[in-house]
């Protein structure tokens, strides 16, 4: 059995793997540790889903399903790199690329009409969005900045934008009719099977049947009113123009793969309301779906001069929009997966509340976050920095996070139970004994969803928080709102456990807005705190605070203590990975920083030593920490500019520092003897290796594909040093 699984993923992290994984495998083998791979990339997931359409030599095993079984065992030791949580445009692009490479995959049915098309669409819909994380996360999250990383950030503070008290940047959220205001929640007293039905004047439609929940599960239900959303968006577009700020919509259309693309589509339609009113039928005939974004819309109508002219006139009359790429004219509303709230909002806050406008200049922005469930954390952050000025990374403390995410906990597990309502009526969740657990009166177009969190993950989450607080001895806050239905049910679990363990005095419980301010006050003073949160806040906060503290969330230590005893070690966020790939393709420079991979590798090896009694693995893990420190202390992280050291250079230095640490240690003489000549070869080859790496940069690169690249071409691009390759093998 393979000791450690290193996941094959997408974009910049996967390109980096082509350079880094051979180093890992070379060094691990000396300790008798085998490192294998499993393909959870978007292309890999697509190919595994449609074997019947492929030749025998094209078929691919379902590695995600295999990993899903592995993480439920004590033997799991998985290093998980960030993968694409595919939006529909990304999914369609990946399918087209694979088709061009000779894979006879079916097209993604935009509007399925036949049973066969509906079946294909259902398979594809199982791939998009957060298809990977809920399968692998059979444990709760422990995310924090590694000490070496935090110390480096304090000693080498990154640039922060200046805040002014009169900044017009602000957050706008719905005051009613959203998921937050309509939420109901209940904790089940027994094992149940449930169904979700829509009762209308024309009859009853079963939306979902046969949903099983064990006793103790917290089950929520809520909906967003389409009418309220449309009114809100129209008002905010008008207010943005009046204020002279940028209109910016911040969503999570990748993870919330059913609800948020629909909300995004409402925003596209609201921004171009006069055009849809005038040309709606003609645009529908052209296949326009606002959920697919402004970019797709413009591509479909480009040959209709009347529509194009009216779009240009409408855009000229609207407020300027927050831009993804001003030079290329890519707006906030072009693609739903381009502006992801957990990366976009922290970046804007770090920049002093500024976003890029269509004129290529920075401006204040109206940050539109329709649902009010978590908008307050960003609203309060902005208010705090307006009052107090920017955070000083040199003196700031840190916010760690303990996140409830095991077994598809909370909203990110809601995809199979999220529906766009076709006809006005009442949605009911009915248990097998006839009890109506939840019901909401809805209108056509409303978005209804249910989410759940099971008892075992909740209790594990609280106990993990207790362990971390004891280890750290810092302030610890449960980010739970007693006035929110779901949070009130969680509080009913949290308080008794804390009291039974005799640690209630060590913890505070605050609503997210108050917890945000308390945490910012704490780290501003140089102290640390632990944020104990639900699943979505886990995702948001482990970008927000690291981006403020460290300049990036990719450098976070992310440990998932699997509930059956295994370990899952995540390597950080991949939100900026597409731009990294673009630069590599154009200039053969990869600025992806593998620091997250370094941290995860060290933890994985230490975990393996504890689990399997492999003391050589422990020595390797300690040496990884030394190598990571060497990278930071000596400034060998990747540069952003072509012609300067990049990701491949950092891997050379990591291998060298790792080998030197192993050669110098006295815990294992055999390992010291083994790595001494390797360390010497890496040191003596420095000039040749760095010269070969530098010579590779500049020209455009052909990888043979974006989503499904050619392995040989990728290896050639990412391992251009013959000298280094001869040492590593």
What is the per-residue pLDDT for 558?
86
Let me know: does 300 contact 286? Beta carbons within 8 Å.
yes
**Rounded Cα–Cα distance for residues 469 and 663 (Å):** 36
Mean pLDDT of the chain: 95
Give me the residue label for tokens 């304090």: 154
80 labelled as ligand-binding?
A: yes
Does 517 show up as a binding residue in the annotation? no
The pLDDT of residue 15 is: 96
Q: Residue 333 falls within a domain, yes or no?
A: yes
Q: CB 215: neighbour CB atoms within 10 A?
A: 12
Low-confidence ranges of the chain (pLDDT < 50): none
Distance of CA 649 to the CA centre of its chain: 26
Residue 669 lies in a domain: no
* Greatest CA separation for the chain: 81
538 is in an annotated binding site: yes
- Is residue 45 marked as binding? no
Tell whether 677 is in a known binding site. no
Residue 648 pLDDT? 98
Encoded tokens for 528? 């640390």
Is 300 marked within a binding site? Answer: no
Residue 92 annotated in ligand binding: no
Name the residue among 15, 19, 210 with its Cα closest to residue 710.
15
Asked if residue 539 belongs to a known ligand binding site, the reply is yes
457 belongs to an annotated ligand binding site: no
130 is in an annotated binding site: yes
pLDDT by residue (tens digit) across 590-617?
Answer: 999 999 899 999 999 999 999 999 999 9
211 is in an annotated binding site: no
Q: What is the pTM for the complete model shown?
A: 0.85
640 marked as binding residue: yes
Quote the pLDDT of residue 574. Answer: 56
Q: 260 Cβ partners below 8 Å, 6+ apart?
A: 251, 252, 253, 336
pLDDT score, position 657:
98
Say how far apart CA 592 and CA 580 lie, in whole Å: 6
Query: 454 a known binding residue?
Result: no
Residue 430 confidence (pLDDT): 98
Query: Are residues 695 and 721 in contact, defined by beta-carbon separation less than 8 angstroms?
Result: no
- The answer as to whether 231 is a domain residue is yes
Domain residues for 362?
A: 225-373
CB 68 within 8 A of CB 568: no
Contacts of 240 (CB under 8 A, 6+ apart): 246, 247, 319, 366
**Both tokens of residue 407?**
């077994």
pLDDT value at residue 1: 76
Cβ proximity of 605 and 618 under 8 Å: yes
Backbone φ and ψ for 224, nearest 5 degrees, come out as -110, 130
Is 580 annotated as a binding-site member?
yes
Residue 423 lies in a domain: no
Residue 88 located in a structural domain = no
Pairing state between β 475-479 and 529-533? parallel
Give me 484's structure tokens: 């929110």
Three-state DSSP at 656 gives: helix
pLDDT score at 576: 55
Residue 235 annotated as lining a ligand binding site: no
Whether 65 maps to a domain, the answer reads no
Output the six-digit token pair for 420: 């766009």
**Residues linked to residue 354 through DSSP beta bridges, in sequence order:** 364
132 appears as a binding residue in the annotation = yes
Strand order in the sheet with 447-453: 184-187, 218-224, 447-453, 418-420
Number of domains making up the chain:
1
Residue 592 marked ligand-binding? yes
* Structural domain contains residue 528: no
Other residues' Cβ atoms within 10 Å of the Cβ of residue 175: 11
Quick check: is 342 in a domain? yes
The residue among 436, 402, 611 whose CA lies nearest residue 507 is: 402
Instruction: Tally Cβ neighbours within 10 Å of residue 630.
Output: 18
**Three-state secondary structure of 243-298:** HCCEEEECECCCCCCCHHHHHHHHHHHHHCHHHHHHHHHHHHHCCCCHHHCHHHHH
Q: Which tokens go with 684?
A: 């003596």
What DSSP designation does 321 have?
Answer: B
The pLDDT score that the predictor gives to residue 149 is: 87
């Amino acid at each position: 059995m393979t000791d450690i699984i290193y996941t094959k993923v997408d974009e910049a992290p996967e390109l980096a793997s082509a350079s880094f994984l051979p180093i890992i495998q070379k060094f691990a083998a000396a300790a008798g540790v085998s490192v294998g791979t499993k393909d959870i990339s978007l292309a890999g997931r697509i190919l595994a889903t449609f074997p019947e359409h492929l030749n025998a030599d094209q078929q691919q095993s379902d590695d995600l399903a295999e990993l899903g079984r592995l993480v439920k065992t004590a033997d799991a030791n998985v290093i998980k790199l960030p993968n694409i949580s595919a939006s529909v445009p990304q999914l369609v692009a990946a399918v087209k690329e694979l088709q061009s490479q000779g894979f006879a995959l079916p097209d993604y049915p935009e509007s399925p009409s036949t049973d066969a098309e509906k079946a294909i669409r259902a398979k594809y819909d199982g791939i998009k969005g957060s298809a990977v994380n809920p399968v692998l996360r059979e444990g709760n999250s422990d995310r924090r900045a590694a000490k070496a990383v935090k110390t480096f950030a304090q000693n080498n503070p990154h640039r922060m934008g200046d805040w002014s008290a009169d900044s017009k940047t602000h957050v706008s959220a719905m005051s009613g009719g959203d998921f937050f205001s309509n939420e109901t929640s209940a904790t089940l007293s027994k094992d149940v099977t449930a169904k979700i039905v829509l009762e209308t004047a024309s009859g009853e439609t079963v939306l979902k049947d046969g949903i099983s929940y064990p006793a103790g599960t917290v089950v929520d239900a809520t909906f967003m009113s389409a009418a309220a959303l449309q009114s809100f968006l129209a008002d905010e577009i008008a207010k943005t123009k009046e204020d002279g700020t940028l209109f910016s919509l911040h969503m999570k259309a990748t993870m919330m793969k059913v609800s948020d693309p629909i909300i995004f589509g409402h925003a596209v339609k609201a921004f171009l309301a006069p055009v849809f009113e005038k040309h709606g039928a003609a645009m529908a005939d052209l296949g326009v779906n606002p959920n697919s974004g402004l970019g797709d819309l413009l591509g479909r109508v480009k040959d209709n001069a009347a529509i194009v002219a009216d779009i240009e006139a409408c855009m000229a009359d609207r407020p300027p929009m927050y831009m993804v790429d001003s030079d290329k004219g890519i707006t906030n509303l072009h693609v739903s997966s381009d502006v992801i709230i957990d990366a976009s909002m922290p970046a804007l806050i770090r920049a002093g509340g500024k976003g890029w406008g269509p004129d290529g200049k920075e401006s204040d922005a109206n940050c539109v976050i329709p649902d009010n469930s978590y908008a307050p954390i960003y609203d309060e952050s902005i208010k705090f920095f307006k009052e107090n000025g920017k955070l000083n990374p040199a003196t700031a403390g840190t916010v760690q996070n303990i996140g409830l995410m095991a077994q598809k906990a909370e909203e990110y597990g809601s995809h199979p139970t999220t529906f766009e309502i076709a006809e006005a009526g009442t949605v009911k969740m009915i248990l097998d004994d006839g009890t109506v657990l939840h019901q909401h009166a809805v209108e056509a177009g409303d978005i209804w969803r249910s989410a759940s969190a099971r008892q075992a993950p909740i209790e594990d989450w609280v106990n993990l928080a207790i362990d971390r607080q004891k280890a750290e001895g810092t302030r610890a806050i449960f980010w739970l709102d007693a006035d929110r239905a779901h949070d009130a049910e969680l509080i009913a679990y949290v308080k008794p456990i804390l009291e039974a363990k005799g640690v209630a005095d060590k913890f505070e419980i605050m609503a997210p807005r108050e917890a945000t301010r308390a945490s910012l006050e704490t780290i501003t003073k140089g102290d640390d705190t632990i944020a104990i949160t639900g699943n979505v806040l886990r995702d948001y906060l482990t970008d927000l605070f690291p981006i403020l503290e460290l300049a990036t969330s990719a450098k976070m230590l992310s440990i998932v203590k699997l509930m059956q005893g295994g370990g899952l070690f995540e390597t950080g966020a991949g939100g900026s990975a597409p731009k990294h790939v673009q630069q590599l393709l154009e200039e053969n420079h990869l600025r992806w920083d593998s620091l997250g991979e370094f941290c995860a590798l060290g933890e994985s090896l230490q975990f393996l030593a504890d689990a399997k009694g492999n003391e050589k693995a422990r020595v390797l893990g300690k040496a990884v920490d030394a190598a990571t420190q060497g990278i930071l202390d000596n400034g060998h992280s990747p540069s952003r500019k072509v012609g300067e050291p990049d990701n491949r250079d950092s891997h050379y230095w990591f291998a060298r520092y790792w080998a030197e640490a192993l050669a110098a240690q006295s815990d294992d003489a055999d390992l010291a003897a083994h790595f001494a000549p390797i360390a010497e070869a890496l040191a003596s080859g420095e000039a040749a290796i760095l010269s070969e790496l530098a010579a590779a940069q500049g020209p455009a690169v052909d990888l043979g594909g974006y989503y499904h690249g050619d392995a040989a071409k990728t290896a050639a691009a990412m391992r251009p040093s013959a000298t280094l390759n001869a040492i590593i093998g």
